[in-house]
Amino acid sequence: MNTTLMALVAVIPIAAGAVVAAFAMRKISVTALEGMTRQPEIAQLFTAMLIGMALVEALAIYTLVVTLVLAGKIVVS
Amino acid sequence: MFGNVWTIDGTGMVVVVNAVVVSAVLIGLGWFLARGKLTSGVPKGRQVLGEFATDFFLNKARGMVYDYDRDTVVQTVTPFLGTLFFFILASNLFAMIPIPVVNRPPTSFYSVTLGLAVSAIFGNLVIAARLKGPTGALKHLFWPNPVQFVSEITDVLSLSLRLFGNIGGEYMTLVLVAAVVPVGIPLILHVLGLIPTFVQAFVFTLLTASFLASGLHREERAGKAKHRVFRRKKPEPA
């Protein structure tokens, strides 16, 4: 395959995945911070925020794996 | 440029050796914490550390006891969850050691994380079969949704990919950055990489525990009394 085309295509999944994941995590962290300032004594809010972040981040990591597989197949001609 | 990221050499011996070293460290630590006289009164010394480590998983296991025998559930579930957590935590922390080949944590190989995820989901099935009987466990795989077993397969994929992406990506970033700037910036990356180290171990264990809890609970029978269409006559008292 064309090396230039493949190198250009390989970067699209991680770029899109990182941007969309960043928007989702922004919403999660804003809501969690507001909750923590309203009621600082809730112990589980931080734990729930971490789990939510990890689940969203996993989606971005699936796109990273796609990028790694594509980038591993680029052969310099 | 950075070569083959799946293995350092072609044979894959690094994976096995690193995983064995992590296991040896964990077993040594457990032996060290558990020897000597253990009291069941007020603990002191190293027993405090061991109890602190075990307490979290005991409370998690107690949260899953509905109408099962409490001792069986707690004794089966606690070591399962605790082993997963401490193995992942210890092998993630191996990325902090500055020796070159021991540096690479076993969880930065996809083979190790896939094995961990498969054993976690398979262990869920085995524990459910042990507590509910084998027919109960199979019924959970097929009952409310006939293709529910596909969600088990996607659970395996998501658990393994999440752990591999976080830890393997962190290691790859370190290797790439250290090839360019050997001093200074890798330190910042090490410190920042401590956060996913703990969070990923915690999230893996928590997700396994929640899959296990959803697999163990019986369905609600409160509103579903058996409704007979043709009523049978009650037998006359003799």
B146-187 pLDDT per residue, tens: 888 899 999 999 999 999 999 998 998 888 888 888 888 999
Do the Cβ atoms of B103 and B95 come closer than 8 Å? yes
B contacts of A14 (beta carbons < 8 Å): none
Instruction: State the DSSP string of B174-201.
Output: HHHHHHH--SSHHHHHHHHTHHHHHHHH
Residue B98 reports pLDDT greater than 90: no
Structural domains of chain A sorted by starting position, each given as residue range(s) with its CATH number in brackets? 3-72 (1.20.20.10)
Residue B195 reports pLDDT greater than 50: yes
What is the DSSP code (8-state) at residue B233? P
Residue A17: closest CA among A56, A50, A70 = A56
What is the pTM for the complete model shown?
0.83
* Segment B107-144, tens digit of pLDDT: 988 889 999 999 999 999 999 888 888 888 888 888 87
Do the Cβ atoms of A25 and A45 come closer than 8 Å? no
**What is the per-residue pLDDT for B67?**
67
For residue B203, give the nearest of A51, A61, A64 by CB distance.
Answer: A51
Chain B residues at the A interface, defined by Cβ less than 8 Å, are 5, 158, 161-162, 164-166, 169, 199-200, 202-203, 206
Distance (Å) from the alpha carbon of A39 to chain B's nearest alpha carbon? 24
Tokens of B1: 């440029």
Q: Binning pLDDT at 50, 70 and 90, where does residue B20 land?
A: very high
Residue B225 reports pLDDT greater than 80: no
Q: Which amino acid is at A55?
A: L
Distance (Å) from the alpha carbon of B135 to chain A's nearest alpha carbon? 32
For residue A61, give the nearest of B5, B162, B206 by CB distance.
Answer: B162
Q: Report CA torsion sign: B91, B97, B98, B99.
A: negative
Do the Cβ atoms of B189 and B173 come closer than 8 Å? yes
For residue B199, give the nearest of A54, A62, A68 by CB distance.
Answer: A54
φ/ψ of B41, rounded to 5, equals: -90, -130
